[in-house]
């Protein structure tokens, strides 16, 4: 079937600007993991398009989210993706409390005394679902439970299975954010793109996704793992993980609309991907890997650290294989004047696009 999205929808700023308002700011957005904000003054910054906000642990008042702009002279308060320090602008050392109010602004120094509300940081609503922190940047009227539906409980279930974060990284893609989404929603490309990685090492790609679930653009599915001598040997080597919280004999993939990817390989390891559109042709993919949770993991720490290194190297190999294809597709879209087609294995893409269009206003198709 021919898909609704045309090449122009991936290559034009006009449509990108509509997406930011009608898709990203009309929905709760994933920001970071709760475990990344465990201590007071820990913060995490999220940037997309012309927007920048941060979430921070204020201590007794919990996790708050604010626009990442000082109300004095519009300097960005935090420049790094994450860190630990008070909410203080490093231009004139203005410091803000848990309500976003400046606590050391000398009002007498102003030519005209501003209102306190004028000096208060713009604040956004925060909701925590298990380990996943969501922020309502655009004042969406939806409850987070209504946006996630059945996936609300699934995020909580996965959160209970997450162990130590192995690493955090980011990877710029010269491609439209929708291409990153659509790439992970099917494995029809696996035999060609991931022949020596997912197919050979994990036995994925021989069969399509099964056991699908859908709700409001969110979706999940399982890729069956072909059992062979490699997978049997791998299972023996990882027997110490048999008491893990989350067990399944597959590659389990979740997509949380509009830009969060979560996957689990047999519950042994977890990947959390976060696609942030810097521009209509540039997307920053934030990458997190987690080990699984078992009660006595520290007894196996030396061995698990070796496994974790393999998890990161293998995961990045797959991501880089996808990146090359995605960027080539973007180049092709820039010179194409034909429609795009979806086959029967790509119906998660179809579901994504249909929900996407239900959100876009005044969108030329």
Q: Distance (Å, rounded) from C-alpha 136 to C-alpha 120?
A: 18
pLDDT at residue number 116 = 79
Task: Specify whether the CB–CB gap between 259 and 356 falls below 8 A.
Answer: no
Helix, strand and coil in the chain, % to nearest 5? 35, 30, 35
**What is the extent of the structural domain holding 34?**
28-141
Cα–Cα distance measured from residue 356 to residue 349, given in angstroms and rounded to the nearest whole number: 10
pLDDT for 363 equals 56
User: What DSSP letter does each residue of 170-228 carry, written as one string?
Assistant: EEEESS-HHHHHHHHT--TTHHHHSIIIIIHHH--SSS--EEEEEETTEEEEEEEPPP-
Is there a single domain that holds both residue 214 and residue 263?
yes
SS3 state at 93: coil
Q: Does 21 reside within a domain?
A: no
pLDDT at 202: 80
CB 225 within 8 A of CB 266: yes
C-alpha dihedral sign at 104, 108, 112, 114 = positive
DSSP code at position 108: G
Give a yes or no: residue 240 inside a domain. yes
16 located within any domain:
no
CATH number at residue 124: 2.102.10.10
* Residues in a beta bridge with 224: 250
Burial 238-251 (b: 16+ CB within 10 A, else e): beebeebbbeeebb
Q: What is the DSSP letter of 300?
A: G
Of the residues 141, 176, 197, the one at which a domain ends: 141
The pLDDT, as a whole number, for residue 362 is 55
5 in any annotated domain: no
Final residue of a structural domain among 141, 168, 196: 141
| Sequence-ordered list of residues with C-beta below 8 angstroms from that of 118, at least 6 positions apart, any chain | 71
Q: What CATH code is carried by the domain that includes residue 320? A: 3.90.380.10
109 in the same domain as 66: yes
CB atoms within 10 A of CB 172: 11
Within a domain: 182: yes
What secondary structure letter does DSSP report for 91? T
In this structure, the answer to whether residues 118 and 159 fall within a common structural domain is no
Predicted pLDDT of residue 259: 98
In the chain (365 residues long), the average pLDDT of successive 10-residue segments reads 91 94 95 97 97 96 97 94 96 93 71 78 97 94 96 98 97 98 93 88 78 95 78 78 90 97 96 98 98 95 95 96 97 92 91 93 58
User: Does any domain span residue 301?
Assistant: yes
Helix or strand (DSSP H, E) at 29 = strand 29-33
Bridge partners, 218 (sequence order): 215
Tally of domains within the chain: 2
Identify whether residues 104 and 218 lie together within a single domain: no
Q: Which of 118, 141, 164 is the last residue of a domain?
A: 141
Whether 225 is covered by a domain: the verdict is yes
pLDDT tens-digit readout, 237-285: 889 999 998 999 899 999 999 999 999 999 999 999 999 999 999 999 9
Q: Which of 35, 310, 302 is nearest to 165 (CA)?
A: 35
Same domain membership, residue 207 and residue 346? yes
Same domain? For 245 and 271 the reply is yes
- The answer to whether 340 and 193 have CB atoms below 8 angstroms apart is no
Q: What pLDDT does 105 receive?
A: 62
Question: Do residues 191 and 205 touch, judged by C-beta distance below 8 A?
Answer: yes
Q: Does one domain contain both 195 and 49?
A: no
CA-based end-to-end distance of the chain: 15
What Rg value do the Cα atoms of the chain yield, rounded? 22
Residues in CB range of 266: below 8 A, 6 or more apart: 225, 247, 248, 249, 250, 251
Q: Is 13 part of any domain?
A: no
């Amino acid at each position: 079937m021919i898909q609704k999205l045309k090449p122009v929808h991936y290559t034009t700023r006009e449509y990108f600007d509509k997406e930011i308002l009608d898709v990203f700011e009309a929905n709760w957005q994933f920001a970071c993991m709760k475990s990344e904000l465990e201590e007071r003054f820990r913060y995490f910054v999220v940037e997309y398009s012309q927007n920048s906000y941060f979430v921070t642990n204020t201590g007794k008042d919990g996790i708050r989210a604010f626009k990442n702009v000082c109300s004095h002279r519009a300097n960005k308060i935090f420049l790094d993706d994450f860190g630990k320090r008070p909410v203080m602008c490093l231009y004139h050392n203005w410091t803000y409390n848990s309500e976003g109010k400046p606590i050391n602004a000398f009002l007498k120094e102003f030519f005209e005394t501003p209102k306190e509300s004028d000096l208060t940081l713009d604040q956004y609503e925060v909701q925590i679902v298990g380990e996943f922190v969501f922020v309502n940047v655009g004042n969406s009227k939806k409850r987070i439970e209504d946006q996630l539906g059945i996936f609300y409980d699934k995020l909580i279930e996965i959160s209970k299975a997450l162990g130590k974060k192995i690493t955090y990284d980011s990877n710029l893609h010269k491609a439209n954010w929708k291409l990153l989404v659509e790439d992970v929603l099917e494995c029809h490309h696996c035999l060609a793109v991931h022949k020596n990685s997912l197919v050979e090492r994990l036995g994925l790609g021989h069969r399509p996704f099964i056991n699908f679930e859908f709700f409001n653009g969110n979706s999940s599915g399982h890729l069956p793992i072909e059992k062979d001598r490699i997978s049997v040997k791998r299972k023996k080597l990882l027997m110490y993980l048999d008491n893990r919280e989350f067990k399944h004999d597959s590659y389990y993939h979740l997509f949380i609309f509009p830009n969060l990817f979560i996957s689990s390989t047999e519950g042994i390891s977890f990947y959390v991907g976060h696609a942030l559109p810097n521009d209509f042709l540039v997307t920053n993919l934030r990458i997190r890997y987690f080990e699984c949770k078992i009660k006595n993991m520290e007894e196996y720490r030396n061995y698990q650290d070796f496994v974790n290194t393999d998890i990161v190297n293998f995961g990045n190999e797959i991501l880089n294989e996808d990146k090359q294809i995605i960027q080539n597709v973007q180049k092709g879209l820039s010179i194409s004047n034909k429609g795009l087609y979806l086959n029967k294995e790509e119906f998660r893409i179809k579901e994504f696009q249909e929900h996407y269009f239900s959100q876009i206003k005044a969108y030329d198709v």
